[in-house]
Structure 1
Amino acid sequence: MTGQKADNVVTAAFLVIGDEILSGRTKDRNIGFAADYLTSIGIDLKEARVVPDEREEIAAAVNALRARYDYVFTSGGIGPTHDDITAECIAEALGVPLILDPRAVAILEAHYPPGQFTPARQRMARIPQGADLIENKVSKAPGFKIGNVYVMAGVPAIMQAMMDAIAPTLATGKKMLSETVPADMPESRIAERLAAIQDTHPQTLIGSYPQADNGKFTTQIVIRSRDEAILKAAAEDVAKAVAELSG
């Protein structure tokens, strides 16, 4: 499925897998990257979750998310160690066998020196039966795609390379446009006006984001819409409200 979706809206969830994220030992960098990346190509990231390296938790999250969104992207848990259990959990969630995929075996055998494709490294060639491989230009061990679930590495550089590899295959919607109006006041002062403007322009999303600098509170107001004319009209109303309240 490629190209632009008929209703102009494509949704996604991002699932981060790993005890090290939940313990704080590793700081996640993949959710923020995915949010920026997907928005830029016309896919709305609607939900992000972090789950531990536990079979039931991974399988339950994958099944819940894949039923709700057009795409599910995961990161983490497809390496060579005993706690890298994502592949087997995805296979279980989708009800298919986990196999030593001959395509993945060939890629990794060619990558490692003779005799270095150890049993631990062979774990990275375990792929759910029927899945397509996701190219890994950084370290060769592939990710995979099965159904609407895309399984990628947790290392940010590798995950980002995998996103580049799959992007041309994804269906996308009409891109969300945005405009920012700065307000030299706390958001509480303009909240009522913003609610009224939102009601007037239901095809927009209006968010207010407070900032503090040396004890002074200001607000960045972000207006989003897929229609440029609607966006412009709403942004003009917000700018007018800010000017009147600043008067």
Structure 2
Amino acid sequence: MSGNTGEAVTAAVLVIGDEILSGRTKDRNIGYIAEYLTGLGIELREARIVPDVLGEIAAAVNALRERYDYLFTTGGIGPTHDDITADGMGLAFGLPVSHHPDAVEILKSHLGDRLNEARLRMARMPEGAELVRNPVSNAPGFRIGNVFVMAGIPSVMQGMLDEIAPTLKTGQPYLVDAIEGDGVKEGDIGGPLGEIQRAFPGVMIGSYPRSRDGSFTTTIVLRSRSAEDLAAAKARVTQLLGELRPTGSRS
């Protein structure tokens, strides 16, 4: 079922690759996926990074796919020997891995006589997997159960995510508001802000310090699915800031 369910929909991201853990490659996918899913009303609850080790891939996949509505993975579906994500998925689901005939045809059509044994690895998937179209470089990803397996290259992953999005069930997106503290520091607001948070459990309240004109100030960000709760919490925070600004309190 796709479309807005009106209920909370949760997700996790699993980044696969030794190159991320070694620092040779900087991850650019987690933040993009988080923002993308937030826009759909899907809550990204967890992100993990695992090495190119079959057992660790399978263990992480099984833990995350059981805990959340969706799991999105990036990396490890290319043509090289260390691209073993398909095998990790097979191990996780207890399924054999073989060349998906439709994926093979896509690669043949796109690569022609350049399709060799290494490139054919990109067509390997667990039995029963559904293809995820790749509008950027053609080599498909795949879906099995509630797990979406995508490329690690950011532009390719983003194209795959666009293909996946219409198939997802979504929740009600959060409403977001931000209030500038205008010189109020986190140490000034920490205690009373916690009291406001307890009074409004349906509103997520975060404080974020930043430097402006050589001094520190705080931005308060409020997120809620309820416009009424958000407005009420914002009014309390605004009142609190108004009480603190004249005092010149310091942490």
Q: TM-score, normalised by structure 1?
A: 0.97
CA deviations over 1:142-161 (Å, ceiling 9, x no partner)? 00000000000000000000
CA deviations over 1:104-124 (Å, ceiling 9, x no partner)? 0010000012x2110000000
Residue in structure 1 matched with residue 249 of structure 2 by the alignment: none
SS at match of 2:178: strand
Which aligned runs of 4 or more in structure 1 are off by greater than 2 angstroms?
Answer: 212-215
Which of 126, 148, 152 matches 1:150?
148
Q: CA deviation at 1:214?
A: 5.5
SS at match of 2:114: coil
The answer to whether 1:81 aligns with 2:80 is: yes
**Cα RMSD for the two superposed structures:** 0.9
Q: CA deviation at 1:177?
A: 1.0
SS at match of 2:205: strand
The answer to whether 1:181 aligns with 2:174 is: no
Distance in structure 2 (CA, Å) of the matches to 1:237 and 1:80 = 56
Distance in structure 2 (CA, Å) of the matches to 1:124 and 1:163 = 18
SS at match of 1:130: coil
Residue in structure 1 matched with residue 136 of structure 2 by the alignment: 138
**Percent identity between the two aligned chains:** 56
The answer to whether 1:116 aligns with 2:117 is: no
Distance in structure 1 (CA, Å) of the matches to 2:166 and 2:228 = 29
Distance in structure 2 (CA, Å) of the matches to 1:73 and 1:215 = 41
Distance in structure 2 (CA, Å) of the matches to 1:97 and 1:214 = 60
Q: Which moved more, 1:117-126 or 1:210-219?
A: 210-219
Q: Which runs of 5+ in 1 are unaligned?
A: none
The residue identity in structure 2 corresponding to 1:38 is L
Residue in structure 1 matched with residue 14 of structure 2 by the alignment: 15
SS at match of 1:166: helix
Residue in structure 2 matched with residue 3 of structure 1 by the alignment: 3
Q: Which moved more, 1:9-18 or 1:196-205?
A: 196-205
Residue in structure 2 matched with residue 38 of structure 1 by the alignment: 37
The residue identity in structure 1 corresponding to 2:83 is D
The residue identity in structure 1 corresponding to 2:40 is I
Q: Which runs of 5+ in 2 are unaligned?
A: 247-251
The residue identity in structure 2 corresponding to 1:27 is K
CA deviations over 1:159-211 (Å, ceiling 9, x no partner)? 00000000000000111111001112211110111111111111111011111
Distance in structure 1 (CA, Å) of the matches to 2:90 and 2:4 = 29
Residue in structure 2 matched with residue 168 of structure 1 by the alignment: 166
Q: Kindly tell me the number of residue pairs found equivalent between the two proteins.
A: 245
The residue identity in structure 1 corresponding to 2:175 is L
